[in-house]
């Protein structure tokens, strides 16, 4: 793929390349390699006093993440930076076994955070070896969401390769016994409660309304019509699938409650939850009326463009995200407990049942999850021996409940953005950005400049 150009939205075109790396970094049984895709942009890069901003790719196509990480492009000139976006193994085009990568647990066995971090480490060493002028330059890891977790963990595990990390919306504590399992749904509910009168109450009442309507003979048919579903509901287990789909929609809206029109998971208006809540002002209406209002609300998320003829309950987000790989990861290492009680949140009560979760994983993938491995591997809450990591979180983002929101030391820093949703700070500058995110970004850049300065100071000492 050397040298093919990939279209990025508003910045220079990055060059798309591939680097061969081992499928298994930690065993010696196989020497099979695969091609890892990465994007590189060097318009503002300077050999003299420059830096390398390295995006630790997460669960999807790297071009999509590249197009949604405008902060790096906005900062490139100021930091004289080369930008590198590395694709995560098993996502996009970086498939270790090609079309067979998801065939069974034997082929998926190499989809772990440790292998992904090792890919990034090998790639950085390869770039420093092959790009003239890059050898003695500081590298900073950046990522959002799962990619933010990887950026933080990369600095923890490979501190000799990156001088620091910006971990945006990185829920590194959303694992067993570190935060309450209900905190996520509570934040989603707060977003809806604050976005319109009676909004969260209308949603809370909708679940029983759905149950009552579908108990009647013609209920499934009526609901399929009222919600304009592409595939009609035909049997009672479809009702739970419908409820899960609606719940996931509210969760996604909380994640992408941005202050301007965006197209991250779906094309959406500015402050989409406020728009949704305009349809959910009155919870004290009949079941049929309430569900018609719920349809109008769902339509904001699924049909803002006006192009959708019907709503598809098997799809909630862009196909650029790799749902298959992520499902396997949550069934192995990335075991994040969630629950709701219907009192502190607007969802149906649902307790966290590890045995049930584990059995489902075994049914789907033939694997058993290891819930305590990530805290064992990356230290859980015990991370104060590390340095130079910025954890940024938006208060509107449900993932902030599992994130680091208070400084741990003077170099493990927390930045909280009151009007921020999911990694808003990594998105491109926008005229509608709240002041709080502008402040967060300038703080992040200030720290990065310090890391770069410290790196060059210690380089000079060595020589």
Question: How many whole angstroms separate alpha carbon 405 and alpha carbon 399?
Answer: 11
Instruction: Using CB atoms within 10 Å of the CB of residue 199, give its burial: 0 to 12 exposed, 13 to 18 middle, 19+ buried.
Output: buried
Distance of alpha carbon 21 from the chain centroid: 25
Residue-level pLDDT at 261: 94
pLDDT digits (tens, 9 = 90+) for 322-372: 788 999 999 999 999 999 999 999 999 999 999 999 999 999 999 999 999
The dihedral formed by the CA atoms of 16, 110, 404 and 267, expressed in degrees to the nearest 10: 50
- Poorest-confidence range of 71-80, 179-188, 260-269, 415-424? 260-269
pLDDT > 70 fraction of the chain, expressed in percent and rounded: 97
pLDDT at residue 320, rounded to an integer: 63
Lowest mean per-residue pLDDT among 121-130, 209-218, 384-393, 398-407: 209-218
Tokens at residue 77, please? Answer: 């000139």
Catalytic residues: 145, 397, 422
State pLDDT tens for residues 284-308: 999 999 999 999 999 999 999 898 9
Q: How far apart are the first and last CA of the chain?
A: 38
For residue 412 the two structure tokens come to: 């493990």
Helix (H) / strand (E) containing 220: helix 219-226
Mean pLDDT, rounded, of the chain = 94
Q: Are 179 and 173 in contact (CB under 8 A)?
A: yes
Other beta carbons less than 10 A from residue 348's beta carbon: 18
Q: What percent of the chain has pLDDT over 90?
A: 89
pLDDT of 3: 34
| 165-170: average pLDDT | 98
Burial 280-291 (b: 16+ CB within 10 A, else e): beebeeebeebb
User: pLDDT band at residue 416, thresholds of 50, 70 and 90?
Assistant: very high
What local confidence, expressed as pLDDT, does residue 323 receive? 83
pLDDT, tens digit (0-9, with 9 covering 90-100), for 227-245: 999 999 999 889 999 999 9
- How do residues 73-124 score in pLDDT, each as one tens digit? 999 999 999 999 999 999 999 999 999 999 999 999 999 999 999 999 999 9
pLDDT of residue 18: 82
Q: What is the pLDDT of residue 12?
A: 60
Return the DSSP state at 321.
B
């Amino acid at each position: 793929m050397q040298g093919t150009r990939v279209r990025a939205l508003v910045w220079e075109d990055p060059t798309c390349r591939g680097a061969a790396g081992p499928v298994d970094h930690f065993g010696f049984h196989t020497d099979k390699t695969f091609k890892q895709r990465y994007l590189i942009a060097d318009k503002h890069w300077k050999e003299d006093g420059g830096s390398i901003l390295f995006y630790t790719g997460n669960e999807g196509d790297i071009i999509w993440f590249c197009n949604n990480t405008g902060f790096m492009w906005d900062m490139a000139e100021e930091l004289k930076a080369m930008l590198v976006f590395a694709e995560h193994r098993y996502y996009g085009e970086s498939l270790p076994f090609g079309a067979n990568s998801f065939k069974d647990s034997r082929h998926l066995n190499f989809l772990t955070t440790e292998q992904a971090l090792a890919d990034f480490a090998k790639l950085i060493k390869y770039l420093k070896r092959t790009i003239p002028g890059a050898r003695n330059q500081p590298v900073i890891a950046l990522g959002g969401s799962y990619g933010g977790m990887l950026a933080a963990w990369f600095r923890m595990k490979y501190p000799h390769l990156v001088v620091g990390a910006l971990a945006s919306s990185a829920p590194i504590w959303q694992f067993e016994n570190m935060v309450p399992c209900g905190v996520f749904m509570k934040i989603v509910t707060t977003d809806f409660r604050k976005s319109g009168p009676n909004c969260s109450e209308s949603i809370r009442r909708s679940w029983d309304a759905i149950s009552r309507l579908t108990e009647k003979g013609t209920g499934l048919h009526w609901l399929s019509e009222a919600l304009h579903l592409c595939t009609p509901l035909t049997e009672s287990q479809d009702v739970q699938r419908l409820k899960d789909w609606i719940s996931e929609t509210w969760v996604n809206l909380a994640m992408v409650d941005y202050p301007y029109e965006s197209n991250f998971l779906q094309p959406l208006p500015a402050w989409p939850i406020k728009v949704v809540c305009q349809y959910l002002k009155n919870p004290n209406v009949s079941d049929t009326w309430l569900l018609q209002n719920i349809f109008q609300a769902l339509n904001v998320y699924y049909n803002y463009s006006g192009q959708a003829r019907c709503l598809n309950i098997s799809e909630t987000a862009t196909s650029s995200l790799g749902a298959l790989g992520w499902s396997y990861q949550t069934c192995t290492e990335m075991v994040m407990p969630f629950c709701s009680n219907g009192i502190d949140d607007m969802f149906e009560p649902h307790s966290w049942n590890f045995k049930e979760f584990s059995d489902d994983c075994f049914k789907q993938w033939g694997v058993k999850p290891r819930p305590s491995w990530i805290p064992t591997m990356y230290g859980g809450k015990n991370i104060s021996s590390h340095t130079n990591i910025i954890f940024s979180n938006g208060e509107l983002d449900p993932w902030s409940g599992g994130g680091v929101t208070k400084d741990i030391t003077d170099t493990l820093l927390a930045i909280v953005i009151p009007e921020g949703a999911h990694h808003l700070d990594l998105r491109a500058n926008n005229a509608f950005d709240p002041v709080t995110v502008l402040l967060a970004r300038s703080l992040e850049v200030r720290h990065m400049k310090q890391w770069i300065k410290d790196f060059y100071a210690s380089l000079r000492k060595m020589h």
